Structure 1
Amino acid sequence: MDSESIEKIWEEWFKEVSKEFSPELRVVVKERIKGYIYALLSGEDSEKIVEQIDDELIERIIRSGSKPEDVVRRMELFANKLSEYEEFEKVAKNFARFVPALLRKMLGVYERILQEEQERRKRAERALRVLSKVNEAVTRASDEEELLKEVCRIIVEEGGYAYAWVGYAEKDKTVKPVAASGNDDYAWVIKVTWNDSETGRGPVGSSIRLRKTVVVRETDADESFKPWREEALKRGFRSVAAIPLHVENEVIGSLAIYAPEPDAFDEEELSLLEELAESLSNAIASLREKKEKEMLEKLYELVVENTGTAILVIENGKIVFANKEVEKLSGYSREELVGKPFTILLPEEDRKEILRIHKLRLADPESAPRQYEIKYVDKEGRIRYAIITATVIPGTKRVVVSLMDITEAKEMERKLKESEERYRAVFENSPLGIVLASVDTTILDCNNAALRMFGMRREDVIGKKWTELGLFDDAKLPEIMKEFYRGLSEEFRELDLEVNIGGKLKILKVFPVISRNNFTPQTTTPLCTQTPFQQVASSKR
């Protein structure tokens, strides 16, 4: 086609479809799609043109709300405008190949987006499970380091001990002082490790390595204390108790307490100090969980709210959380949903069964289906369809529900089923014979009218080529095949073919037509005899 005609078709078509795009996307589509249209109408190979279309552009169009049926509708509109021009026949075949190729590419991108969304959905569920676990933690201070300093201060100033310090176990087997209280910087002067060496066999290193309380009753006599004896005696430290600190069953360090007198720690005193260390360990764990909670809350903002998947959290049968996508799909605001029974989103006739599954999931998660299809009701009372995935958060009675709306897909499925049923009814009840065959003439199916016409049984023809059924004169077969395939290239072209049926020669009138199934070219070939009976054969691939 000449550039002037292409430009006119493009402008008329884009003016109509551009209304469906946002202003920003409209500019991008106009700049990039125009070149593909020009190439297509100029005769360039449609498959190569589709290969050149950027996946990122297709993704932007899909995320703007476009569905495969929208693309088909827009292409039909373009074809209608194109058919008004004399040059239409020259580009029709190329255009016919372009549309299914484009749809295949679009479906590929759509599947990738779904996988990414599934992946983004998995990531959001995991974050919520951890967040719930963190919420149960008890925090007793606002800062870990300040808490450690305060504990050491209380031990010295209110307990009357000479010195106290907390050291954390490092990966290189050293012990790092993080807090202390007393007269000087003793903890930073000495060297302590928690390996099985001379500097690791003292009270602090041993308590970490052996995971138990270690006491040195006389610092001036105990051989295990030799590396630190001089510094300790200069400060008047005559005995020491070191108690391991645990977080989630892992020893993270040790609390060391020094007394000015030898043999200062009796059994009752040690029991109280071990209880103190246990309390300190719990506080450290709570503070660390609080930090993790803050991190997960940021992750929640990033993942849960922006995942593109509707997410609900249900506890005691009520909605305790709903993200923006739930608001978008249901029409309810978050405030209208939180605190309400989740059954407000279900049709009344389905509530009993869904509640049964919900209770089963809480009692035995392995016995309840994790993913299944449901109907839900939006704020306007409209019935919609969704695939839900429900997971119990470990250690809680909370259930995370992710919801993927499939209403549009269900409607397409219904229409497709109706279309298939109509086709099957025509196929089976037609008084004309119909034969479905692949492009290499292999027969895939045929109706009873066709079998009666040729006097054959279904098992005699299915899977065989119609050129091998003995209907045609072998000498004339090459010419017949030539005429037949030539007929496919011309819309509704009539052919007269001579056939031998039951030893009698008859003339079939043949009308080959191109059709498609799952983007695969097919031939639909109506046939009728010049005798009183009629026949339709359809070749399809």
Structure 2
Amino acid sequence: MSDTADIQVLHVDDDPAVTEITAEVLERERDRLDVDTAHSASEGADTLAAESFDCIVCDYQMPGQTGLEFLETIREEYPELPFILYTGRGSEAVASDAIAAGATDYLQKASGTEQYELLANRIENAVEQYRSHQRATELNRIHNITGEIKQALVRADSRVEVETRTCEIFSQSEPYMFAWIGDHKTDSEQLEPRAWAGVEEGYLENITVTADDTETGQGPGGTAVRERRVAVSQNIHEDAEFEPWRGNALERGYQAVAAVPLEYEQTLYGVLGVYSARPYAFDEEERELLAELGGDVAHAIHSLELQATLRAEREFIEQALSEVRDIFYVADTDGTLRRWNDRAVAVSGYSEDELDGMAVTDFFGKEDQSRVLEALDEALTTGESVVEAAFLTADGDSIPYEFKGSRLTDTDGDVVGVIGVGRDISDRQQRERELQRYETIVEAIGDPVYRLDAEGNCTFVNDALVEMTGYEPADLRGEHVSMAVPDEHVERGREVVRQLLDEEHPNSLTWEMELHTTSGDVIPVENHVALVPSEDGFRGTAGVIRDITDRKQRKRDLEEKNQRLDEFAGIVSHDLRNPLNVAQLRLELARQECPSEHLDDVAHAHERMETLIDDVLAVARQGDDVDETQAVNLATLADSCWRTVETADATLRTETEQTIRANSGRLKQLLENLFSNAVAHGGDDVTVTIGSIDSGGFYIEDDGPGVPEDARDRLFEAGYSTTTDGTGFGLNIVQAIADAHGWTIAVTDSDAGGARFEITGVEFA
């Protein structure tokens, strides 16, 4: 740890025994840790309001407010304060909820004093990261400001915009209040304001700043002009040289000021003054960055002034080329070609000399010439026009094109012709024909299908959607989607479209919403939506709808069941594990003070109790159904599970490449339990094999001693174990997972005489 300052820790847990032992061991582990305790969320909030802390360590399940609810409460006032959820109720769901709610870290309570070394490390790491972030935030402040100003300089097209945006960005950034740019007048030696922003309140009208040897020339502004460097007054209240302006500055809250010369190639373009709301705001690094920024601003002004003499011609050329993508053209008011690009030569087949003097109507057949002339007149009159027509080449080929025209004016605003682009729309017309065929196909699709334009108006529905909603096609087409979808789901649809548009390679998204029928029924549906692309990017969406009424009901039933199981698991976790944890810690302390072989038996009993608690929780959390399955590769998952269990010198052989349909999380527990069972009964050097069964399933076998015939009937019963160390829940959990998937599990002998577990009734993907 690079930061050795003391760390103030607030530990919140409703069990006084836990907080007492935690504080005692943590302070013994680390001298720099100072631990205060609170026994409820409300007491923790009061303590936090009265004292300053570097980190909060909090239990999850407490009366009144849970640890996560306490976290949400304090995040409103302490958005970045390190918060570690330290709880005996451990699960992936709790960990995920903690991180999602803004917890810095998550740690599950365990046995032994080793957990406190880990907790101490987590606390120190979280606080170090928090303090480093605070330091980095301060250093990044001026970097962000200069970066934003540099971006503004790139976008600016006038000196006024350069100076105004520079002042605005500084004045809108903490801790600055006000910024102004003054022009140095050599005849009077005064700095005359050109631009300013922020808390000014008449400040510039009440002060005089010069660059001469008088009293008004000794401040930062005059020094910056004379010495061409960043000059600062770090404490306006105490700086004697700031006396001429002190009263006006302090009235407006200014505490420090920096003056930056805007110089490029020995030419001074002005002085930038930046005023801070706090003293000593301009350290050495910040002054260096301000000096660099002053050069950038001066360079931008220099470049814009050089460009001023060329602006008239440049604006004409930029206006002429701004629309170029395919064929580019400029035509006079009478329709005679004036300019064109290489693409016009390549597509038309005419040479440069042949194009010179041709009329725009020469490129179209008689059936299109009148429409082209109307479009030309429309562009001259209204400012723009669009026309689709067949473009005729010198060889007589006809290519479908879309021409866009815009009125062209000179620097005096007089109309001189039409400027525009022509785009080949052969592919677009082909797509439109294909789309018509697709719409015919989706009419026959069983699921409801729709299409919306970019504004959310319905452009197509198939018969299935008509049947689901009760609306007639004519009732839906052309109408906004809100006629059948609640407002909140319409807004959610807009968010989905924005999300798809933000993606680099948009595909599709599936989300749930409600559909209202003509009879007043509300149907929960799953909406699978995708963007409909166009040449311009986005013209609307298309989607497929599926009725999920049955699925929603199953989900509600499952959630109710899981809630009851979770309540039971919470009771077991909180009411049994906390006293056990205290007992384990007291045992460790007792061993250090008076070693005894009797204490080893106590430790073994503790371990036995903890294993029983874990297995009881695992059994409680096994539901009767699997709510969701996916394609799972057996070999890949088996290798992953093997690395997570204690396998000593055992070996895993994988003889399957099958992919099955299963809930990956519950299948993972099934495999881990069977692997652990094989090692526990087969010895440290046992070989475990997983393979496929031709009839539809897979097996896990070993070369250990096998399962006695008289024990097989009771092997999967809860609490039954063939060893004194077993809890009897491991294979019961395996049976529950198999049943939840609709599988059948049986035990027999392997070819090597060991145990073989066969799981059948499996669906292969």
TM-score interval, normalised by the smaller of the two chains: 0.3 to 0.5
Q: Which has the higher helix share?
A: 1
TM-score (norm 1): 0.32
- The structure, 1 or 2, with the larger RCO (C-alpha pairs under 8 Å, 6+ apart) is 1
